């Protein structure tokens, strides 16, 4: 559509707005009380024969998505969030003036109607309109006449148009809502206690990530948007909340990709007297249970392949997974120089041995982990909050869970020795000095909390956005985040 054509359409809609007001009609009333959901009307008359007229009167409202005119009669398709129904308007019922104004409405207008349920000779349930009211005049035309909005860039930037035009997008966000509710229900049913911890923090921590920084004018100090809820939740465990969780937003100042958004929804839970073996069993149960509740079964389809989420999931150590996929043995390549040479990459002064291991795994192993898999026992350099492995030197009791080639969750047997935690913080400080801006900073307040005594604890972080990607068969966070971050 050319710019002049678009301008003419907008001007025409404005003229119709003026005509409504000239007729004494408020095009933006305050409410429309007593309406029924369209799905309820449809379900209540599903067994009527073609040509049936009822005495059942209904009051519905929604957006005009299609219209067909036949002289003194008009057929209008109306949609709300639950369904779609046909309206049948006739001049001899409404009167010529009211019918003419109704016939003057545009696609996209929000309309409320009263009328009785009838079934056309072709068998379509309809509302025979005896009263109608404009509830919101649409001053811009809808996307592609509701036949689908396919431009990806527009769909992400103007999500309201995407939701308006695409039933598939509306279903994705229905699945997301049901997933969040189901996750909460699983945790509540298993005795976990939901809390809320600060989003603005005096010191960021709990993950290896670069934070967003802001300035608080009244306190005259720098604050950080949280990158994780871990350290505050562990302080709750220290305080005696043995099973605690938080489900909310985290923020990381990192690159944007199909599996990264600078703000994302994360679930973290911690259970006293548990370890990473217990948390793995719990995650299997939660994910398979949520899938069964939301989708009706513990199986999903991804790229034409069926994936079974039922326990038990496959388990493999990080070292064995890397060796199998790349032929590189990280237990032999123990310096950053030798590992970089084995990987055939140029060594950056700011990149330590642990970061090289992480890069090797991300590029060579992670995309191949399609079936639900726990990758176990990570180098201590990658896990400053995990407890040393009780049997293997140099690694910690940590797993990451993968599904569809994407990491969805992370877990530790949590480090609860304050002296060892202090030593790990000091070691991380060396990474900061070398220029790694994603390293965990030293947090003396957290050390002091651990010095009060934290019981043996297992903790989990589950990415809700990524889980929803798996349950909906989508391949980008932008499909499951309503308003993703975009370049200008």
Quote the CA–CA distance of 120 and 50 in Å, as a whole number. 6
Q: Are 45 and 56 in contact (CB under 8 A)?
A: yes
Work out the mean pLDDT of the chain and round it to a whole number: 93
- 38-93 tens-digit pLDDT: 999 999 998 888 889 999 999 999 999 999 987 899 999 999 999 999 999 999 99
Q: Provide the phi-psi class of 124: left if phi over 0, else alpha when psi is between -120 and 50, else beta.
A: beta
> How much is the pLDDT for 432?
63
> How much is the pLDDT for 368?
96
Residue predicted with more confidence, 320 or 49 = 320
Residue predicted with more confidence, 380 or 370 = 370
> How much is the pLDDT for 254?
87
- Percent of the chain exceeding pLDDT 70 equals 96
> How much is the pLDDT for 350?
74
Give the confidence band of 4 by pLDDT, cuts at 50, 70, 90. Answer: confident
- 6-17 tens-digit pLDDT: 788 999 999 999
> How much is the pLDDT for 439?
74
Mark 301-314 as b/e (b = at least 16 C-beta within 10 Å).
Answer: ebeeeebebbeebe
Position of tokens 């279903």?
171
Residue predicted with more confidence, 399 or 344 = 399
State both tokens at 336. Answer: 């950053």
- Percent of the chain exceeding pLDDT 90 equals 79
Closest Cα to residue 361, out of 341, 382, 334?
A: 382
Position of tokens 């025979």?
128
- 188-247 tens-digit pLDDT: 999 999 999 999 999 998 887 899 999 999 999 999 999 999 999 999 999 999 999 999
- 415-435 tens-digit pLDDT: 999 999 999 888 877 666 666
- 147-165 tens-digit pLDDT: 557 788 889 999 999 999 9
**Residue 349 pLDDT more than 90?**
no
> How much is the pLDDT for 215?
95
**pTM, to two decimals:** 0.91
Quote the CA–CA distance of 91 and 74 in Å, as a whole number. 9
**Residue 1 pLDDT more than 80?**
no
Give the confidence band of 26 by pLDDT, cuts at 50, 70, 90. Answer: very high
> How much is the pLDDT for 436?
65
Quote the CA–CA distance of 348 and 60 in Å, as a whole number. 64
Query: What would the 3-class secondary structure string for the chain be?
Result: CCHHHHHHHHHHHHHHHHHHHHCCCCCCCCCCCCCCCHHHHHHHCCCCCCCCEEEEEEEEEEEEEEEEEECCEEEEEEECCCCEEEEEEEHHHHCHHHHHHHHCCCCCCEEEEEEEEEECCCCCEEEEEEEEEEEECCCCCCHHHHCCCCCHHHHHHCHHHHHHHCHHHHHHHHHHHHHHHHHHHHHHHCCCEECCCCCEECCCCCCCCCCCEEEECCCCEEEEECCCCHHHHHHHHHCCCCEEEEEEEEECCCCCECCECCEEEEEEEEEECCCHHHHHHHHHHHHHHHHHHHHCCCEEEECCEEEECCCCCEEEEHHHHHHHHHCCCCCCCCCHHHHHHHHCCCCCCCCCHHHHHHHHHHHHCHHHCCCCEEEEEEEHHHCCCECECCCCCCEEEEEEEEECCEEEEEEEEECCCHHHHHHHHHHHHHHHHCCCCCCCCCCHHHHHHHCCCCCCEEEEEEEHHHHHHHHHCCCCHHHHCCCCCCCC
């Amino acid at each position: 559509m050319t710019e002049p054509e678009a301008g003419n359409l907008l001007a025409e809609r404005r003229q119709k707005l003026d005509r409504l007001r000239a007729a004494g009609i408020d095009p933006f009333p305050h409410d429309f009380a007593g309406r029924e959901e369209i799905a309820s009307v449809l379900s209540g008359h599903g067994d009527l024969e073609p040509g049936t007229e009822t005495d059942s009167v209904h009051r519905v409202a929604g957006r005009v998505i299609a219209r067909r005119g036949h002289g003194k009669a008009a057929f209008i398709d109306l949609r709300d969030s639950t369904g779609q129904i046909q309206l049948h308007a006739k001049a001899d019922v409404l009167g010529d003036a009211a019918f003419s104004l109704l016939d003057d409405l545009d696609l996209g207008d929000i309309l409320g109607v009263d009328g009785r349920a009838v079934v056309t000779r072709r068998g379509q349930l309809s509302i025979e309109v005896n009263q109608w009211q404009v509830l919101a005049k649409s001053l811009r035309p809808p996307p592609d006449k509701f036949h689908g909005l396919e431009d990806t860039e527009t769909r992400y930037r103007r999500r309201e148009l995407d939701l308006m035009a695409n039933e598939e997008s509306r279903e994705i966000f229905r699945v997301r809502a049901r997933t969040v509710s189901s996750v909460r229900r699983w945790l509540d049913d298993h005795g976990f206690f939901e809390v809320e911890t600060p989003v603005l923090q005096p010191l960021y921590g709990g993950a290896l990530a670069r934070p967003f920084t802001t300035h608080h004018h009244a306190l005259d100090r720098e604050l950080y948007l949280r990158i994780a809820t871990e350290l505050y939740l562990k302080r709750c465990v220290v305080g005696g909340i043995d099973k605690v969780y938080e489900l909310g937003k985290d923020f990381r100042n990192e690159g944007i990709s199909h599996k990264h958004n600078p703000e994302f929804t994360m679930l973290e839970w911690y259970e006293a007297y548990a370890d990473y073996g217990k948390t793995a069993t719990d995650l299997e149960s939660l994910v398979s249970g949520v899938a069964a509740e939301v989708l009706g079964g513990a199986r999903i389809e991804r790229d034409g392949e069926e994936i079974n989420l039922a326990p038990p999931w496959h388990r493999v150590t990080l070292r064995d997974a890397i060796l199998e996929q790349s032929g590189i043995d990280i237990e032999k390549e123990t310096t950053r120089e030798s590992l970089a040479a084995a990987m055939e990459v140029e060594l950056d002064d700011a990149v330590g041995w642990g970061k090289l291991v992480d890069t090797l795994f991300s590029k060579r192993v992670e995309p191949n982990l399609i079936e639900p898999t726990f990758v176990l026992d990570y180098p201590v350099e990658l896990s400053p909050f995990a407890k040393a492995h009780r049997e293997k030197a140099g690694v910690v009791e940590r797993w990451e869970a993968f599904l569809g080639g994407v990491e969805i969750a992370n877990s530790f047997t949590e480090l609860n020795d304050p002296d060892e935690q202090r030593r790990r913080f000091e070691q991380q400080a060396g990474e900061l000095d070398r220029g790694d801006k994603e390293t965990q900073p030293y947090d003396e307040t957290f050390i002091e909390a651990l010095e009060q005594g934290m019981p043996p604890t297992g903790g989990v972080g589950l990415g809700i956005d990524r889980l929803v990607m798996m349950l909906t068969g989508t391949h980008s966070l932008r499909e499951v985040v309503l308003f993703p971050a975009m370049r200008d």
